[in-house]
Amino acid sequence: MKAIVQNEYGSPEALQLQEIDKPEVKETQIRVRVRAAALNAGDYFSVRGSPWLVRLMVGFPKPKNYILGWDVAGEVDEVGKKVNRFHPGDIVFGSCQGALAEYACAAEEQFAIKPTNLTFEQAAAVPTAALTALQGLRDAGKVQAGQRVLINGASGGVGTFAVQIAKSLGAEVTGVCSTRNVDLVRSLGADHVIDYTQEDFTQGGPRYDLILDNVGNRSFSECRRALTPRGTLLPNTGHAGMGYVLTAFARSVFVRQQSRPFVETPNTQDLLVLKDLIEAGKVTPVLDKMYRLNESPKAIAYVGEGHARGKVVVVL
């Protein structure tokens, strides 16, 4: 099979399209014929090898035949002997290390049947970004109907899902984005949109019960000014640097306002929650650009620029 392989850290240009063996299916895994794979900020961090913690997962001192990609949609090709929820031919989406390849394997609990109203490309865009938004807002943030929620970085991969999911939870949602993305964020259902080139959400204005920060360009002290007395800051660990996340958490110990770091965990149950929201028309993936598999280095470089509107998808 063809796959995008990483053997050194640095530039996306060093990635190679190679012919390698199909992954073998373990007892509790399914193998998927990949139709589309979506990229995340983590893929760019993996290529750079920065922050250094990434190298513990990708390879130290350098990667060896590491296959990039995590989000996938496609057809089940083979199932392990202990798998009972899926069968060859099922159309699925989920989280799967090594998604930038013609075939990829992962545990069955990381997949669900694809939403009927999405294309493969749209479905691939869902898992990591939408699970991050769902688990952050619902579980870490415990968002309740009527609360004021601000999404910083509302036009990005996580942000576009977060605006819609916060609305589905009954919140009053404010999105922060650049001028060119104001109409997009408003079309996703945001009650209010702040153009950060014209207004600083930490300087006066409303206070929010929860801020989901997908950017990491504001300190906890600055965000406190925009939080209610018992409000919560959720730093998205996939975008904000770990130093920012840990500092915000440490400082929140001494005040009533809280910072709650969280890490997205792929699982079938939450994928099914997202599937229901999507099929009910409450959540729709936003796609920015699509690339072919051999264009993956260019796609990852684009993600690394940090200006994607929604998700970037690689089509096989």
Q: What is the pLDDT of residues 220-278, one digit of tens each?
A: 788 889 999 999 999 885 544 444 444 444 444 434 455 666 778 999 999 999 999 99
Regarding whether 102 and 137 lie in a shared domain, the answer is: no
What's the CA gap between 239 and 235, in Å, rounded?
A: 8
Regarding whether 254 and 142 lie in a shared domain, the answer is: yes
- Average pLDDT value for the chain: 91
Regarding whether 251 and 158 lie in a shared domain, the answer is: yes
CB environment 250-261: b (16+ within 10 A), e (fewer): ebbeeeebbbbb
What pLDDT, in 10s, does the model give residues 229-239?
999 999 885 54
Q: Token pair of 189, please?
A: 């259902």
What pLDDT, in 10s, does the model give residues 4-43?
999 999 999 989 999 999 999 999 999 999 999 999 999 9
Regarding whether 116 and 14 lie in a shared domain, the answer is: yes
Q: How confident is the model at residue 55 (pLDDT cuts 50, 70, 90)?
A: confident
What pLDDT, in 10s, does the model give residues 147-177?
999 999 999 999 999 999 999 999 999 999 9
- CA dihedral 36→42→43→46, nearest 10 degrees, is -150
Residue 140 sits in which domain range? Answer: 129-259
Regarding whether 248 and 185 lie in a shared domain, the answer is: yes
pLDDT of residue 94 exceeding 80, the answer is yes
- Domain assignment present for residue 67? The answer is yes
- CA dihedral 133→135→141→143, nearest 10 degrees, is 80
Regarding whether 197 and 235 lie in a shared domain, the answer is: yes
What's the CA gap between 267 and 148, in Å, rounded?
A: 28
Regarding whether 109 and 50 lie in a shared domain, the answer is: yes
